Amino acid sequence: MALEQSPTLVSITDGAPWIRNRILEHLPYIDAMLLDFYHLSEHIWDTAKCCLGESDEARRWAKDQLHAIKHVGPAGVLAAIAALSKKVRSTRKKKQLRLLRNYLTERWEMVDYRRALARGWDIGSGPTEAMCKNLTLRLKRTGMKWDPDNAAAIMNLVALRESGQWDRWWTNAAA
């Protein structure tokens, strides 16, 4: 099956605009593009620590925002950012809150985690990154040397097997 014939195509990225643009350029038929939840959580935790220090209040604020964005939506997080901005005084803290607000609003269409979870989609790139690491480790065993073409061929074969598509691919190739 060709990629564009897949029933659902979801991209999970770190939110970099250049990556989003490349995906839209090369995969115009994509169903959804999600911001990797871990990347978003890093920004939320950094803001909580900057504005509230290493405190129980900071941990509670960050956890509340992550829960809200995952289960309710991003609007409440923007409200929480605005509320916290009224409480802090320092320029550095206000800037950090502004950066988080901008980061979130610039990726608004990528943070519909509630819909993604309801559809059974992953919201983090962890499983994909772990599989990539696992696949490449097979090429890095002691004494192995690969030229790029042969390494790519082996990676394709391993990916076919690991994705459960081995038999289907070889049946189609034979036909």
Residue 175 pLDDT grade (very low, low, confident, very high; cuts 50, 70, 90): confident
Same structural domain, 8 and 91: yes
Contact 109, 33 (CB under 8 A): yes
Same domain, 87 and 110: yes
Indicate if 53 and 1 belong to the same structural domain.
yes
Per the structure, how many domains does the chain have? Answer: 2
- Do residues 63 and 40 share a domain? yes
Going by C-alpha positions, the residue among 37, 100, 101 that lies closest to residue 70 is 37
Residues 92 and 145 in one domain: no
Q: Are residues 138 and 71 in the same domain?
A: no
Locate 146 and state its tokens. 């690969």
Q: Confidence class of residue 64 from pLDDT cuts 50, 70 and 90?
A: very high
pLDDT the model gives residue 158: 78
> Residue 6: pLDDT above 80?
no
Parallel, antiparallel, or unpaired for β 32-35 and 10-13?
parallel
Domain identity same for 104 and 137: no
Q: Which domain holds residue 168?
A: 126-174
* Proportion of the chain above pLDDT 90, given as a percent: 56
Shared-domain flag, residues 115 and 133: no
- Res. 54: pLDDT tops 90: yes
- Residue 10: strand pairing partners: 32
Both 106 and 130 in a single domain?
no
pLDDT at 1 over 70: no
| Average pLDDT over every residue of 134-151 | 75
Residue 69, pLDDT score: 96
What does the alpha-carbon distance between residue 114 and residue 19 come to, in Å, rounded to a whole number? 23
In the predicted model, what is the mean pLDDT of residues 8-19? 89
Q: Are 3 and 31 in contact (CB under 8 A)?
A: no
One domain, residues 80 and 160:
no
Indicate if 108 and 163 belong to the same structural domain: no
**What type of residue is 150?**
N
Angle (CA) 65-107-50 rounded to 5° is 45
Instruction: Identify the band that residue 151 occupies on the pLDDT scale cut at 50, 70 and 90.
Output: confident
* Residues 123 and 113 sit within 8 Å (Cβ to Cβ): yes
* pLDDT tens figures, 69-126: 999 999 999 999 999 999 999 999 999 999 999 999 999 999 999 999 999 999 988 7
Q: Which residue has the tokens 């988080």?
A: 100
Q: Are residues 38 and 4 in the same domain?
A: yes
Rounded Cα distance between 5 and 110, Å, is 22
Alpha-carbon distance of 32 to 107, in angstroms, equals: 12
pLDDT score of 2: 66
Residue 49, pLDDT score: 97
